[in-house]
Each structure stands twice: as C-alpha cells, then as structure tokens.
Amino acid sequence: MSEKSGIEWTHATWNPTTGCTKVSPGCLNCYAEKLSYRLYRMGVEKYKNNFKLTIHEDSLEIPLKWQEPKLIFVNSMSDLFHKDVPFAFVKRVFEVMEEANWHCYQILTKRPERMLEFTQKYYQKPLSNVWLGTSVESAAWKGRIDILRKVPARVRFLSIEPLIGQVGELNLKNIHWVIAGGESGPNRRPVDKEWVREIRDQCIDQKVAFFFKQWGGYHPKANGRRLDRKHWNEYPVKMNYA
C-alpha cells in the first residue's frame, strides 16, 4: 500500500501512530484531527478511535514494502514524541527507518524536549537518512528551536506553519531547512505577508534552505483575493532533497 501525500514538501506519509492532544496555539485548528474525524465517520478501521492516540503495530513495516526510494513524512496524523508513545515503540520505528535505509524520513514534533531525551538515550549518533524537526507557530514558541539544536540529526528543520504571529529574530545556527505557511481550513487565522518575508529573508541571510508552502487563507492586504504561491514569487531558496 502506498500512502502518497498531497503535502508539497514530501512524497509519502507513514503513520505508525495516529491521534494526538493539543499542546500549543498552533494545534487549535489541527488538520489531522479534522481528517481523523472524517475517516472515523467513514468507518476506516485505522481511525476507529477517532483522534485518540493509538499505536499501530501493523503499520510498522510499511516502508520495508516500498521498494522505490521515497521522502517519507513520519506521523502526519500524530506526533511520534507524544508522551503516550513509549520510547520502546519509538525505538522500533527508528529500527525500521534504519533497516529501510533507501528512504529518507522526516519526523516533525511539537515536543522537541522528548525528541531530545529519546535521541540522547538511543541515537546519539544520528541516522543519516532521518531528518528531525519541530514546529514554531509564533515568537512565543521559538524556545523549541534551541532544544532542536541539541538533537543529533543529519538535517534539522523547522515547520513555521501554521504561522499565526510574527516570529521575529531567528537564530538558525545548525538548522538546515525552514518550511513556512499560513493556516488552512474554514477557521483559518490570517497570515501577514511581512511575517513570511521576514522569515524568508533571515533564511537567505543565514544560508538556510527555505520552502514556502501556502498562504492558507485570504491575505489581509489582498482585498479579499485568495493568494496562492503563484502570486508571490520571492522565495528563491529551496531544499535540495539529495
């Protein structure tokens, strides 16, 4: 089974766990929660617990069955470093990534302190095919970057999405990639063009790869017109997946 992804910065998704709990304001309109509810209503077996944190032992070996190399977003519908996911299970996920080493994996968390604890205990020498990242939705959550910087990883990345406030000055030392984007969905919060420009310019200045994903909603300075990426071409730095 191939779980192709509509997410622009990856090729496929793999969800050894599903479900989560809210931890910061960026979680308010969680897309995964809404999608889980829809799949639950459709009777999809994997989502029979709706958005309750659930471990899926039967999903562990999925990457081993994909012979074509992929860029895989791990846990698009959950957070691998949620407190209710035992480190013993996280270790098994890492063992699969180590075995299926023809793929490249992206793990994103809003709980970088637990990611740091796990890697210090089990993976002080990082796996070369695993990228580790954290979410930063506004200036109030920039402390997560300092924690991520301590995590042993070949590539460390930030998801500044949903961008719900100005992030201000960024220290991107030992950060390799930044994704930025506005919030999507019917209750999306507005994003200001200058917030995105500020992030992009700092990435350029600090020689960090930048990927602009989406505006999300209606831009407050666009007179109600929906702005997509094709209307804003000032993001020259992109990630080299090689």
Tell how far CA 61 is from the center of its chain: 21
Q: How far apart are CA 67 and CA 218, in angstroms?
A: 41
SS3 228: coil
Least confident of 8-17, 70-79, 215-224: 215-224
Q: Residues of the chain with pLDDT > 70: what percent?
A: 87
Amino acid letter, 73:
F
Q: How far apart are CA 199 and CA 14, in angstroms?
A: 29
**What are the pLDDT digits (tens) for 117-170?**
999 999 999 999 999 999 999 999 999 999 999 999 999 999 999 999 999 999
Question: Are the CB atoms for 12 and 4 separated by under 8 Å?
Answer: yes
Element (H, E) at 118: helix 112-122
**What are the pLDDT digits (tens) for 37-94?**
999 999 999 999 999 999 999 999 999 999 999 999 999 999 999 999 999 999 999 9
Instruction: Identify the CA nearest to 177 among candidates 144, 155, 195, 147.
Output: 155
How big is the chain by its Cα radius of gyration, in Å? 18
